[in-house]
Amino acid sequence: MSTQQSKEEFYQLHAHLCKALAHPTRLLIIDELRDGPRSVSELVERLGLRQSNLSQHLGILRDQRLVIARRDGQTVYYSLRDPRVTQAFDLLRQVLRSVLREGERLAIAN
Amino acid sequence: MSTQQSKEEFYQLHAHLCKALAHPTRLLIIDELRDGPRSVSELVERLGLRQSNLSQHLGILRDQRLVIARRDGQTVYYSLRDPRVTQAFDLLRQVLRSVLREGERLAIAN
DNA sequence: GTATAATATGCGGATATCCGAATAAATCGT
DNA sequence: ACGATTTATTCGGATATCCGCATATTATAC
């Protein structure tokens, strides 16, 4: 743990990272960025959000270094910083699907 | 999407799953369960938490089906339900470490 | 049955997150 | 310089989370 990091601090940071993923809108954003960078206005349009709200969510993802913002003129393009984030994303989605399948099975059994 | 699930609902569920992971204590719990099941009292002792607090966190993990509770007499043993959860956990931890390394690098550069 | 041990749950106040509205900041064209 | 466009930030109220305390539940032993 290079930069003098206590165990508690590390778990705290990890939790912050998870918290940044813990909102449906931010998950939608990440999914939207899978195929490459998107500008804020593109995201506004495709997700149908208020600009301010989207910008706040992007800020949260930025703070946790989950996305990178590249500026080109007046438009800012966001992209994913690390493919492992989407890998984790997909793993959890698989878990979710398996949980849903199981819930369904139990619903039928009862 | 088997059980008539709208896209919004699905992202909402995914977000709930992430939210369950978005707390340092719950991450500690998951880490503690990697090597096998643990009883609540073992967890209380090893994590140094109030029993009620731990039980609440376990409840949250249980609600999201991230852990399974097996009862043996008066003691309840918790274990991880799906190895993909810890895989996702580890991926995010790698991302975190790489972010920390980069932050360090920038700190030195400035 | 009562007492005891292990775990879970309800309550209430502190703290954090969320969203929309308004405003600020950055960049462009003229 | 100015106005227009794109993006970011601040503010405030509603809603949600967190924790400790007290209490309930479940299972054992007598």
Strand D proximal residues, B:20-59, Cβ < 7 Å: 22-23, 25, 49-50, 52-53, 56-57
CA B75 to C1' C1, whole Å: 24
What is the C-alpha to C-alpha distance for residues A91 and A23, in angstroms, rounded to an integer? Answer: 17
Residue in this structure with the two tokens 């190895």, named with its chain if needed: B83
Instruction: State which amino acid sits at residue A14.
Output: H
Per-residue confidence (pLDDT) for residue A3, from 0 to 100: 57
Residue A79 CA, chain-centre distance (Å), reads 11
A6 CB neighbours in chain B (<8 A) are: none
- A33: nearest Cα among A15, A19, A54, A51: A54
> pLDDT tens digit string along A28-64?
999 999 999 999 999 999 999 999 999 999 999 999 9
Q: Is the CB of B2 under 7 A from strand C?
A: no
Q: Which helix (H) or strand (E) holds B80?
A: strand B75-80
The residue among A21, A57, A89 with the most chain B CBs within 10 A of its CB, best to mutate, is A21
Query: What confidence tier does B34 reach under pLDDT thresholds 50, 70, 90?
Result: very high
Is the pTM here over 0.75, yes or no? yes
SS3 assignment for B32-60: HCCCCCEEHHHHHHHHCCCHHHHHHHHHH
Confirm if B89 and A18 have CB atoms less than 8 A apart. Answer: no
Per-residue confidence (pLDDT) for residue A110, from 0 to 100: 47
